[in-house]
Amino acid sequence: QKANLMPWRNVFDNILLPLQIQGVPKTQAYKRVEQALTMVGLGDFAAAYPRELSGGMQQRVSIARALVHKPKILLLDEPFGALDALTRERLNLELLQLWQASRKTVVMVTHNIQEAVFLADRVLVLSQRPGRVSANIPIPLPRPRELSLLYNSSFSNLAYKVRQAIV
């Protein structure tokens, strides 16, 4: 999915926008934007415009914009779907680090089985039509997780189990 950033607003102002709409006092809003930028590792890019950022950086701005609300649940719909494999892996690691720091509940939609197994504590497989949960697969892999886990037999077995639930 696209990051849906306002091209005429810099990174800081893109993240600030929902707080401005909500009428959050300026001092408080600026502090929350700075915290969100730090969480996603983009503090040095606050003045940059979306066109100056890579696709992965744009997605991180979008995630920061969601985090600035301090939500209890973070909903992500294919946030890394349009990215190349290496950038996607790096952002998966960054998302895990962000989760470890905040411990927020994250609900993420993905069509990538490896990504689902790598990130999740539980994978829900949805049926085609109507969209109902057809499988609920616990992912008992240890945390913190590293990319080397992708080559582990336990990981492969879980990914296979998810794949079998889809067909």
Kindly state whether residues 17 and 45 are assigned to the same domain.
yes
Kindly state whether residues 50 and 60 are assigned to the same domain.
yes
Q: What is the pLDDT of residues 65-118, one digit of tens each?
A: 988 988 889 898 888 887 788 888 888 888 898 888 888 899 999 999 999 999
Q: What is the CA radius of gyration of the chain?
A: 17
CA dist 106 → 109, 156, 161 (Å) = 10, 23, 22
Q: Which domain holds residue 93?
A: 72-166
Q: What is the pLDDT of residues 122-146, one digit of tens each?
A: 999 998 888 899 999 999 999 999 9
* Domains contained in the chain, number: 2
What's the CATH code of the domain at 115?
Answer: 3.40.50.300
